[in-house]
């Protein structure tokens, strides 16, 4: 964002500089030309007054005297001066292009001067092959024209002065752009830094970290107001979500006591009724067990949502082997074999108890999914700075549609056994893993039916 803002400032500055400096440079070039023409016209009038007497003297030969007068002027100014008679023939020239008699009668400025008018301007000289500035004035007295004085000056001299002015403007432009870039960068940083922090804060809130707050004392007033509104909104959201999570946790916790009491009463009724009510009592106990499991799952999900467990260093290798050992006997009762393929020395820094709870949920699902003589394998390897954990079973697996809904709360596959599970196991796993900074995905087992659950956690 900073680069885009600075680029915008520079683009706007360049447009302003071009709009201002190009007309200024053109005007300066035109002004230099007009100033030079005015000086040339004034000097031409002075020279005309000097040579007037010589041109009016009948029968005299004024070439040498006239040539000496204009030579001094040409040496001082660097201009070319030519004096003609009334017919346009050249009497004196400070820089003749060729020896011999010549006439300037065909030159439009000389023609105008011999007609009694002053001619100024610029034109291209075919003889010299360059642009010239010219002034031609008549040498006249008592209404009679005795000749003309023409002064020419190379336009390249004006162009040289104009080029220096263009370079000066370019230097001013470069300095201006550097100053704008520096000031623009400071302003852009002042604006974009708090906006970037707002973006990071929004991303953190979107990831579930409702404790995120952004500084409220940085940037322009509008950005500060936005930061205050953001923090207020997140605080209100945290309060609402916290109240919801607390309600679920409290309700789940409170429901455990009456469920336990209900179970005891049903067991007592079953004992007192004898065999007559045994079937109904067992059905009622089964429903109580389901409700208890659901309450425990809701409580676990609420704790996962809260994510307030302390961060500790977890020995993944040891933790996984411990959980597999704990589940081995229960799996054996169901005819399921547990095996491992776990690298040594795998560690992560994650909330305390999260990994054990995740693995317990996955093993519970895997053992439940396997038939008699089934097989469940737990793997863990380190790849590219991450720990990859896989729980693989050879059960019926899931279709693509089922995998798309597997992390939905209370969703259960159509092929599940009636009364099995609560539909909260995988959502709990997903929430715990994401709280730990990782990800969880579901895949088909390689080489046959079954499910492969993949968990990726950053190493710590």
Tell whether 167 is covered by a domain: no
Q: Are 220 and 46 in contact (CB under 8 A)?
A: no
CA dihedral of residues 347, 353, 355, 358 (deg, nearest 10): 180
Q: Is 396 found in the same domain as 298?
A: no
Establish how many alpha carbons lie within 13 A of residue 365's alpha carbon, considering only the half-sphere containing its beta carbon. 27
Q: Is 334 found in the same domain as 265?
A: no
Q: Could you list the residue range(s) of the whole structural domain that residue 230 is in? A: 207-308
Helical (H) or strand (E) element with 458:
strand 451-458
Q: Is 328 found in the same domain as 275?
A: no
Region of poorest pLDDT, from 29-33, 288-292, 303-307, 347-351: 303-307
Tell whether 404 is covered by a domain: yes
User: Rounded to an integer, what distance in angstroms lies between the CA atom of residue 240 and that of residue 165?
Assistant: 69
Mean pLDDT of 311-321: 84
Domain boundary pick from 270, 291, 308: 308
Binned at pLDDT 50, 70 and 90, residue 78 comes out as confident
Q: How many domains does one find in the chain? A: 3
Helical (H) or strand (E) element with 189:
helix 155-206
User: Rounded to an integer, what distance in angstroms lies between the CA atom of residue 175 and that of residue 232?
Assistant: 45
Q: What is the pLDDT of residues 373-403, one digit of tens each?
A: 789 999 999 888 889 999 999 888 888 888 8
Tell whether 86 is covered by a domain: yes
Tell whether 188 is covered by a domain: no
CB-based contacts of 18, cutoff 8 Å, min separation 6: none
Give one DSSP letter per residue of 326-352, joined into a string.
HHHHHHHHTTEEEEEEE-SS-EEEEET
Q: Is 148 found in the same domain as 33?
A: yes
Binned at pLDDT 50, 70 and 90, residue 96 comes out as confident
Q: What rounded mean pLDDT belongs to the chain?
A: 80
Q: Are 389 and 361 in contact (CB under 8 A)?
A: no
Is the whole-model pTM more than 0.85? no
Whether pLDDT at 356 is above 70? yes
Helical (H) or strand (E) element with 437:
none
Q: Is 122 found in the same domain as 63?
A: yes
Mean pLDDT of 107-127: 86
Give the orientation angle of helix 278-306 with respect to helix 425-435, to 10 degrees. 20
Q: Are 404 and 441 in contact (CB under 8 A)?
A: no
User: Rounded to an integer, what distance in angstroms lies between the CA atom of residue 153 and that of residue 158?
Assistant: 9
User: Taking the alpha carbons of 430, 432, 433, 437 in that order, is the dihedral positive or negative?
Assistant: positive
User: Rounded to an integer, what distance in angstroms lies between the CA atom of residue 281 and that of residue 291?
Assistant: 15
SS3 143: coil
Q: Is 219 found in the same domain as 328?
A: no
């Amino acid at each position: 964002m900073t680069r885009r803002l600075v680029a915008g400032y520079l683009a706007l500055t360049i447009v302003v500089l071009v709009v201002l400096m190009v007309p200024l440079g053109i005007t300066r070039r035109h002004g230099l030309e007009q100033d030079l023409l005015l000086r040339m016209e004034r000097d031409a009038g002075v020279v005309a007054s000097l040579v007037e007497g010589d041109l009016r003297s009948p029968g005299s030969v004024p070439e040498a005297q006239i040539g000496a007068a204009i030579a001094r002027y040409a040496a001082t100014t660097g201009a070319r001066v030519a004096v003609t008679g009334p017919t346009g023939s050249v009497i004196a020239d400070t820089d003749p292009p060729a020896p011999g008699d010549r006439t300037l009668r065909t030159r439009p400025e000389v023609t105008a001067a011999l007609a009694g008018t002053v001619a100024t301007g610029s034109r291209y000289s075919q003889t010299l092959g360059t642009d010239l500035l010219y002034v031609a004035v008549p040498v006249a007295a008592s209404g009679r024209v005795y000749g003309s004085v023409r002064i020419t000056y190379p336009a390249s001299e004006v162009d040289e002065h104009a080029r220096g002015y263009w370079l000066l403007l370019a230097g001013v432009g470069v300095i201006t752009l550097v100053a704008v870039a520096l000031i623009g960068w400071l302003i852009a940083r002042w604006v974009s830094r708090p906006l970037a922090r707002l973006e990071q804060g929004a991303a953190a809130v979107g990831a579930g970290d409702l404790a995120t707050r952004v500084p409220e004392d940085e940037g322009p007033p509008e950005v500060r107001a936005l930061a205050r509104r953001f923090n207020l909104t997140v605080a209100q959201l945290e309060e609402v979500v916290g109240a919801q999570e607390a309600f679920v946790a409290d309700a789940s916790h409170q429901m455990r006591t009456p469920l336990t009491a209900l179970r005891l009463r049903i067991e007592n009724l079953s004992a007192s009724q004898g065999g007559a009510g045994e079937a109904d009592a067992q059905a009622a106990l089964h429903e109580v067990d389901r409700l208890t499991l659901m309450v425990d799952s809701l409580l676990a999900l609420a704790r996962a949502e809260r994510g307030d467990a302390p961060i500790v260093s977890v020995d993944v290798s040891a933790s996984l082997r411990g959980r597999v050992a704990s589940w081995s006997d229960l799996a054996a009762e169901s005819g399921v074999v547990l095996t491992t393929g776990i690298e040594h020395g795998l560690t992560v820094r994650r909330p305390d108890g999260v990994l054990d709870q995740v693995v317990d949920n996955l093993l519970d699902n895997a053992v439940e999914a396997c038939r008699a003589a089934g097989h469940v394998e737990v793997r863990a390897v380190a790849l590219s700075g991450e720990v990859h954990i896989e729980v693989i079973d050879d059960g019926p697996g899931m279709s693509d549609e089922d995998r798309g809904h597997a992390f939905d709360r209370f969703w259960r596959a159509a092929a599940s056994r009636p009364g099995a599970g609560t539909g909260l196991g995988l959502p709990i796993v997903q929430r715990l893993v994401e709280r730990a900074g990782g990800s969880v995905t579901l895949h088909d087992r390689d080489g046959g039916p079954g499910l492969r659950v993949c968990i990726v956690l950053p190493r710590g």
